[in-house]
Amino acid sequence: MARSVAINPPKMCQPMGAILAYMGVHGCVPLVHGSQGCSTYPRYNIARHFRESAEVAVSSLAEDAAVYGGAKNLTEAIKNVKSRINPAIIGICTTCMSETIGDDVRLISKNALAPGDAVKIIPASTPSYVGTHLTGYDNAMKALVETLAVKDKPNYKINIITGIINPGDIREIKKILRIMNVKSIFLSDISETLDSPILPGVHKPLLPDGGTEASEIADSANSLGTISICRTASSAATYLRNKFNVPTVLDPAPIGVANTDRFVQNISSLSGAVIPDEIKKERGRLIDSMVDVHHYMFGRKVAIFGDPDLVSAIVRFCAEAGMDPTVAMTATKHKDFAPDIKEVNAEYKTDTQILEGTDLYEFHEAVKTYGAELILGNSKGKDLADDEGVPLVRFGFPVYDRVGVYRYPILGYNGSIYLLDQMTNAILGHKYDPNKLHQ
């Protein structure tokens, strides 16, 4: 039956994604050009997921801005951020209100700076009435590259556009590159800014250490190539290719054997680096772990929801491990999502049901119809997992009813081992009956 209302959609607004992109840039303060709630909601979700405070400024638009415009508020917000924090970059995210009233954010920002001000202002169009958090991340990342990237001499590095993945995943990708002795530029990098240490004798700075330097973003125009971990965050890669002839690789997220193989081979092809034995051993340990749990997981019905890049990659990994992915759902439509899963269905003779641009109500109905002994997704899936009496393995963003999920990778060979262990232990720990394990 057709519905005219969304029920528990597992997606967030554009400013949420844009803020995450800006927070991966060193010395950058995100500034939301909208009402107080437009910054409170993202800060709340960031604090719950990463257990870190989030410095997000806001222009605090109210009813009068709908009549007179928000130029005054935005100008004052920029001046306040500069005087109190003096960041290297202010990343502006627009909202429904500021877009609807038609504020010229670029012109307002330019006029707000005094002559000689060193701070760079990067505005991105991120209204919440279109797109999702993935669109916002992509728009902000493209704005950063468009504003800062400059052609110079070759740097022999590889650009890695992360998309919305966790700090643990970024550290795992960095480790792979380090083992392969390949230099890189991460666009952007929240591995330190949203997972910062507490060090003895060191006062917490106004802005966290880490993040991608503005000079590195500028240098991204001179790299050997760009790899987008998430294809939903590919606009910056496309811009670098079209403007500066930087080759672009847009392949599935490196989860599982085949997708991680492709990722490692792409790094090797772009850089000319030989794949070392240490990487091959990591791959071997992943395959060994799949053999270790095969008698527990073979034929297990798994339902997965979340962001399209991660969901489609996990569907393939589940099929590789002998499981039966019954339902794959994403609230954000993407052109590669359905083809990826149809390819898995053809290759592994599975019959994964594909749900796009919908909500957890429809996902729950599909789970009731096609079955699931395990659900994978973020914390929004807890209630339906409880209703069905099956375990929920949490991944992605946001996860707010467990701690530390953001620290552990699910990408790469090692991350895939961790994800498989989590899935297996969830099955073993949920009403475990050895007499029924193979039924």
Where is 330: in which H helix or E strand? strand 324-330
Q: What's 51's DSSP letter?
A: S
Over 70: is that where the pLDDT of 438 sits?
Answer: no
Could you give the count of Cα atoms lying within 13 Å of 111 in the half-sphere of its Cβ? Answer: 11
Contact between residue 239 and residue 140 where contact means Cβ atoms under 8 Å apart: no
pLDDT in tens, 140-158: 999 999 999 999 999 999 9
Flag whether 291 is in a domain. yes
117 and 162, same domain (yes or no): no
Flag whether 134 is in a domain. yes
* Beta bridge partners of residue 158, listed in sequence order: 184, 225
E strands along 56-130, which residues?
57-58, 89-94, 120-124
Contact between residue 422 and residue 408 where contact means Cβ atoms under 8 Å apart: no
- The per-residue pLDDT for 439 is 44
Over 70: is that where the pLDDT of 280 sits?
Answer: yes
- The per-residue pLDDT for 432 is 52
- Give the residue from 38, 55, 34, 54 showing the smallest Cα distance to 46: 54
CATH number at residue 173: 3.40.50.1980
Radius of gyration of the chain (CA): 22
Which range of residues forms the domain containing residue 31? 14-147
437: confidence class by pLDDT, cuts 50, 70, 90: very low
- The per-residue pLDDT for 1 is 57
Q: Tokens standing for 435?
A: 């007499």
- The per-residue pLDDT for 66 is 84
324 and 247, same domain (yes or no): no
pLDDT in tens, 392-432: 999 999 999 999 999 999 999 999 999 999 999 999 998 65
In the three-class reduction of DSSP (H, G, I as helix; E, B as strand; rest coil), residue 75 is classed as helix
Rounded to an integer, the average pLDDT of 312-331 is: 98
What percentage of the chain reaches a pLDDT higher than 90?
89
- The per-residue pLDDT for 412 is 98
394 and 415, same domain (yes or no): yes
Q: Tokens standing for 214?
A: 């503005």
- Give the residue from 120, 124, 132 showing the smallest Cα distance to 33: 124
Flag whether 356 is in a domain. yes
- The per-residue pLDDT for 28 is 97
Q: Reading across the β-sheet that carries 89-94, which strands appear in turn?
A: 57-58, 28-33, 89-94, 120-124
- The per-residue pLDDT for 191 is 96
Rounded to an integer, the average pLDDT of 83-99 is: 95
Average model confidence (pLDDT) across the chain: 95
Rounded to an integer, the average pLDDT of 264-282 is: 98
126 and 183, same domain (yes or no): no
96 and 213, same domain (yes or no): no
Over 70: is that where the pLDDT of 159 sits?
Answer: yes
240 and 312, same domain (yes or no): no
Contact between residue 307 and residue 332 where contact means Cβ atoms under 8 Å apart: yes
Question: How many domains, in total, are found in the chain?
Answer: 3
Rounded to an integer, the average pLDDT of 343-356 is: 98
Domain-terminating residue out of 271, 295, 321? 271
Flag whether 365 is in a domain. yes
Flag whether 372 is in a domain. yes
With a CB cutoff of 8 Å and minimum separation 6, the contacts of 268 are: 180, 274, 275
Question: Exposed/middle/buried for 67, CB within 10 Å: 0-12, 13-18, 19+?
Answer: exposed
Where is 376: in which H helix or E strand? strand 374-377
217 and 121, same domain (yes or no): no
294 and 425, same domain (yes or no): yes
Q: Reading across the β-sheet that carries 353-356, which strands appear in turn?
A: 353-356, 324-330, 301-305, 374-377, 392-394
For residue 295, the Cα-to-chain-centroid distance in whole angstroms is 33
Contact between residue 169 and residue 409 where contact means Cβ atoms under 8 Å apart: yes
Contact between residue 53 and residue 47 where contact means Cβ atoms under 8 Å apart: yes
98 and 168, same domain (yes or no): no
Flag whether 438 is in a domain. no
Flag whether 75 is in a domain. yes
310 and 413, same domain (yes or no): yes
Q: Tokens standing for 208?
A: 């966290």
pLDDT in tens, 211-253: 999 999 999 999 999 999 999 999 999 999 999 999 999 999 9
pLDDT in tens, 358-394: 999 999 999 999 999 999 999 999 999 999 999 999 9
pLDDT in tens, 112-127: 988 888 999 999 999 9
Task: Please give the single-letter amino acid code of residue 332.
Answer: T
27 and 141, same domain (yes or no): yes
404 and 341, same domain (yes or no): yes
Read out DSSP for 224-244? SEEEESSGGG-HHHHHHHHHH
101: confidence class by pLDDT, cuts 50, 70, 90: very high
pLDDT in tens, 34-89: 999 999 999 999 999 999 988 899 999 998 888 889 999 999 999 999 999 999 99
Flag whether 434 is in a domain. no
How far CA 135 is from CA of 12, 67, 147, 162, 247, in Å, comes to 10, 28, 18, 14, 22
* Beta bridge partners of residue 33, listed in sequence order: 94
